[in-house]
Amino acid sequence: MKAVGIVGFKKSGKTTLALELGAELKRRGVVAAAAKFSSHSLDRDETDTSRLREVYGSCAGLTEQEAAVFYEGKRFLPDLMPMLLGEVLVVEGGKSLGWLPRIILPKTEDEVALLKPELALGSWGEIDVPGVQRFTDIGELADCVLEKGFALPGLDCGACGNPGCEELAREIVAGRATVADCKSSKGDKLSLKVGGKRVAMNGFVGDMIAASVEGMVDQLKGVGPGEIRLTIKR
């Protein structure tokens, strides 16, 4: 999945830009999904889902037009991404996310360094950021996202030789590496898909699962060498 974050401080225009980018992608026939980081509650008080959440913790809400799932406790975006439908994910907010590139919206020059321009595919707004392309046309920004957007698994496993995903993301943005350098996403030994979508895992976990399955299969009669495919329907 292609992905990009839209990052800035309060009142920087993140939502407006996310809406414009989503409309442009939709106009092109690109199926896109969105994620938003917020400091406010996502569910309104005094609704049935709110009351059910107080008792059950997790709760699903369904109507004829939409559906949503509310979880108790914190969840991380990579865990929810397999449930999002789309070729492109546009993330509003999430300044701490180092595993995907971003478009930064600084309001002042003092904000630039805080928005991690080394992860930026570009900037939007009136502030020029040294070494970062400033976009003023939504079509050109969409072109950039479709060409250069990416998402790493955020596992910080170190299998690629970098301390974590943010360091690899910086290298990819700078053109010194590619997403293929991520060993967790590549899955040389084990490939796991849930609901048709690839699930990344670090090398240790992948090798452990693969070895366990291979060991059990080797105990079966009439099984020779070759690729193992295991399908579990839930």
Per-residue pLDDT of the chain (234 residues; tens, 9 = 90+): 899 999 999 999 999 999 999 999 999 999 999 999 987 776 677 778 888 888 888 888 888 988 888 888 888 998 888 888 899 999 999 999 999 999 999 999 999 999 999 999 999 999 999 999 999 999 999 999 999 999 999 989 898 999 999 999 999 999 999 999 998 876 556 677 777 776 776 665 666 777 777 788 778 877 777 787 777 777
Domain residue ranges of the chain, discontinuous segments joined by +: 2-151
Residue 183: CA count within 13 A, CB half-sphere: 15
| Stated pTM of the model | 0.80
Distance in angstroms (rounded) separating the CA atoms of residues 149 and 156? 19
Listed in sequence order, the residues at least 6 apart from 33 whose beta carbon sits closer than 8 Å to its beta carbon are 84, 85, 86, 88, 89, 90
Q: Specify the CATH number of the domain 2-151.
A: 3.40.50.300
**pLDDT for 114:** 97
In degrees and rounded to multiples of 5, residue 40 shows phi and psi of -110, 160
- Classify the C-alpha dihedral 78-94-174-105 as positive or negative: positive
Q: Report helix, strand or coil for 84.
A: coil
Torsion angles phi and psi, residue 158, rounded to 5: 80, 5
Residue 203: the pLDDT is 63
Distance CA 115, CA 110 (A): 10
Type of residue numbered 17? L
